[in-house]
Amino acid sequence: MLVTNDDGVHAPGLAALTRALARWADVHREHEIVVVAPLANHSGASAAVGTVYEREAVSYRRVRIDGAEDVPTYGVDASPALSVLISGLGGFGPRPDVVVSGINLGVNVGRSVLYSGTVGATLAGAQLGLRGLAVSLRAGFPPEQWSTASTLAVALLPTLCEAPPRTVLNLNVPSVPMEELRGLRRARISTSGIVKEATSGEGDGADGRAGAPSAEEGEIRLTLGTAVPTLGQLDESEDPEDDAALIAAGYAAITPIVGVQEDMAPGSDEIVRAALAKVHQVLDR
């Protein structure tokens, strides 16, 4: 079993998850744990692997996790996805069958699922046929309740280990003590996002919003919010079963996800056929 994250190999969430998994592996002797995680923070890296064609090797450093000293742990000069690919192809011993990524500080719900390095690591593993579990904890409510997220992650492992190859689950947990957690619910991916607006700040256009930048260089200012609505203040577009809404209501949320695959919807075939017809008109001239 491979453990990774996007906050970096020294992150407290990774340490908490590794300690919990090490205790679980002590009971389930058929599973061995290895940690391969980025040396630096790669939050928002999605499934990026970087400019791999510009280097012939990836450096690593042995790391020690307090409370899990017997777990082989490596910090690598790589993104989360590349860390998983290296491990899944034999770079750090036998091929793992499961990737557990996290615990990320900050939930990965709504549109942030696409950009998450925590989730991207598990999707990279799925490309190699590995099962994956991405684990994230809501930020901004210290002290962080790492044990709640790690307890749920461990509880999901038996089912995940028996699931078909390429199964990936996205687990998001509110930062509350276990006894205050309202439960675990199956969730849909919401439409919420963190980046709300981007403006150049160079004057307003006819609609009152800032116009396109005219200077040769400058800054685009971002207006940020939260992907999780405040309890009791759900947006009209939020469904009670959406991942962000469930976290706000005090539930942990779990969502099965898949990576890049062909769009098989009938409408997409019609678009491709129309595009081919247009292109052939040009080629046949």
pLDDT at 236 over 60: no
pLDDT for 202 equals 66
* β-sheet bridge partners, residue 75: 37, 61
In the chain, the DSSP E strands lie at 2-4, 34-38, 60-62, 73-76, 98-105, 131-137, 168-173, 184-186, 195-199, 221-224, 252-257
41 and 159 share a domain? yes
Instruction: Name the more confident of 144 and 192.
Output: 144
104 and 166 share a domain? yes
152 and 214 share a domain? no
175 and 210 share a domain? no
Half-sphere exposure of 55 (CA within 13 A, CB side): 10
Q: Are 14 and 21 in contact (CB under 8 A)?
A: no
Q: Above pLDDT 70, what percent of the chain? A: 91
> In total, how many domains does the chain have?
2
pLDDT tens digits, 145-163: 999 999 999 999 999 999 9
pLDDT for 215 equals 80
pLDDT for 195 equals 80
For residues 136-146, average pLDDT: 93
On whether residue 268 sits in a domain, the answer given is: no
pLDDT for 148 equals 98
Instruction: Name the more confident of 206 and 183.
Output: 183
Domain assignment of residue 212, given as a range? 194-226
* β-sheet bridge partners, residue 173: 137
On whether residue 232 sits in a domain, the answer given is: no
8 and 117 share a domain? yes
Helix locations, 28-145, DSSP H: 80-88, 112-115, 117-126
pLDDT tens digits, 76-119: 999 999 999 999 999 999 999 999 999 999 999 998 999 999 99
pLDDT for 95 equals 94
pLDDT for 234 equals 43
pLDDT at 232 over 50: no
Q: Above pLDDT 90, what percent of the chain? A: 73
159 and 211 share a domain? no
pLDDT tens digits, 121-135: 999 999 999 999 999
Half-sphere exposure of 177 (CA within 13 A, CB side): 2
On whether residue 214 sits in a domain, the answer given is: yes
